[in-house]
Chain A
Amino acid sequence: MLVNITSILKNKRTEILELWMKNQLSNPGLADDLISNQDLRSQSADFVNALVNNLNENNIDNPNSSDFDHVIEILGGISISRARQGFSPRETGFFILSLKESFLEILNQEISDVKDLFTQSLRLSRLMDNFTILTFETFIKGREEVIMRQTDEITDISTPVIKVWDGILALPIIGTLDSARTQVVMENLLQEIVITGSSIAILDISGVPTVDSLVAQHLLKAVSATRLMGAECIISGIRPEIAQTIVHLGIDLSQIITKATLASALQYAFKSLRLEVKRSATDNKLFNKTQY
């Protein structure tokens, strides 16, 4: 006759939790600076209760059963929050693996028949292994979410539109200009042109490491869009090696005003707006005060 392991687990719930806590706390790798003993205990208790309550003889061999939805939900929540808090994968994995150990220890105490013990341990192991895999999957998903968010943030912060003068906008582009970045750059630029009523926009590509045909195409698109809005677009920050590469690649930028530095682009912009920058005369009072 088979031993009913679910009832064993249900009866031994408190012992399992105690054993599990002991296992977890004895792990030298436990990040006790990241989670308090109390939080760990309540998380563990939640999980054990949910698992034991939903476990029965029918679903123990079927980890995909909908009975485990609540268990998986709790487990997913725990591993995602751990990924965000900065737990290592080892620590997160140990959380669930040490529970399996506690389960097996209890079974060892309760079942005397060796063959029976083996069969039951195997069934339970399979189920717990499945949960372990799930833990890692959600853990990695949590980490990936963090990375995705950072990527978005980088895209956002690296495309500022600066108003350098009345009617002149500057847009320093730093990093690789891919389709997604171009979209953000173009949106920001066109929006700012409308808001500030600017007639000249300077795209500075000093911070773009490589200008290949795709990047060039994106730049050309940005320039045409700016022109459609009635503004002129200047591309500045073309380094000597980039210039040579563009020529060899055969990209035609002759329709666009390009400058080597942001300074010369600004000078050009001033000239076309008929502005003049002059060194002030020496009889400037302020200047005299600080000088002498």
Chain B
Amino acid sequence: MTLPLTKDILVVSREQDVVLLRNRVKEHAVKIKMGLVNQTKLLTAASELVRNMLRYGNGGKAIIEVVSSGRINGIRLTFEDQGPGIADIDNAMTDGYSTGKSLGLGLPGTKRLVSEFNIKSKLGEGTTVTIIKWANG
């Protein structure tokens, strides 16, 4: 059972917003006493996803939540865009696959960095990615 404790919404439309979002996520992570390594992993994951959103979805909305599951707390990040959507999610989740000219590690790498990873996408409607990183997970 995952309970949201706080909610923070950020609209992302420019490259400068990446830094803003990262700082905001970091503040929350520090508040729930997340370790430095997990913090860095979460920030990197957030950075990957928000860059994806800017690059492929023309920006969108980022929701930062502190969630609680019994004894442990964590950060849940949701990234929603109204972009073109992902045609083949299985392909997109494969290392080295990219429709742009990037390394193709964004989505599969992010999945390895966080505790829970969920992606939903519909062609023509947009993509929503939700990740959770537990403070000690």
Contact = CB atoms under 8 A, between A and B. Distances in A.
A242 interface: yes
A213 interface: yes
Given A244-B37, A245-B44, A248-B112, A213 B18 contact: no
Given A210-B22, A212-B51, A242-B40, A248 B105 contact: no
A217 B109 contact: no
A245 B40 contact: yes
B53 to A, nearest CB: 13
Which of B22, B37, B41 is most buried by chain A, counting CB atoms within 10 A of its CB? B37
A216 B51 CA distance: 13
A211 B44 contact: yes
A210 B19 CA distance: 10
B43 interface: yes
Contacts of B108: 250
A146 interface: no
A213 B105 contact: yes
A113 B40 CA distance: 72
10 contacts: A176-B19, A178-B18, A211-B44, A212-B106, A214-B51, A241-B37, A244-B41, A245-B44, A248-B109, A250-B108
A242 B113 CA distance: 12
Nearest to A179: B15
B68 interface: no
Interface in B85-100: 95
Nearest to A216: B103
Interface residues of A, number: 20
Contacts of B47: 210, 212, 214
Nearest to B95: A250
Interface string A199-221: 00000000001111110110000
A209 B112 CA distance: 20
B109 A209 contact: no
B102 interface: yes
Contact of A210 (B36, B37, B40): B40
A250 B18 contact: no
A249 interface: yes
A213 B40 contact: no
A209 B15 contact: no
Which of B18, B48, B103 is most buried by chain A, counting CB atoms within 10 A of its CB? B103
Interface in A118-153: none
| Closest 4 pairs between A and B when the two form their complex, measured CB to CB | A249-B109, A241-B40, A212-B47, A213-B105
A251 B108 CA distance: 11
Contacts of B15: 178-179
Given A176-B18, A178-B15, A245-B113, A213 B106 contact: yes
Contacts of A178: 15, 18
A250 B109 contact: yes
Which of A176, A210, A212, A244 is most buried by chain B, counting CB atoms within 10 A of its CB? A212
A210 B103 contact: no
B102 A213 contact: yes
Interface string B108-130: 11101100000000000000000
A245 B102 CA distance: 18
A214 B44 CA distance: 10
Contacts of B113: 245, 248-249
B14 to A, nearest CB: 11
B100 to A, nearest CB: 10
Contact of B103 (A176, A179, A213, A242): A213
Nearest to B38: A241
A214 B15 CA distance: 12
B102 to A, nearest CB: 6
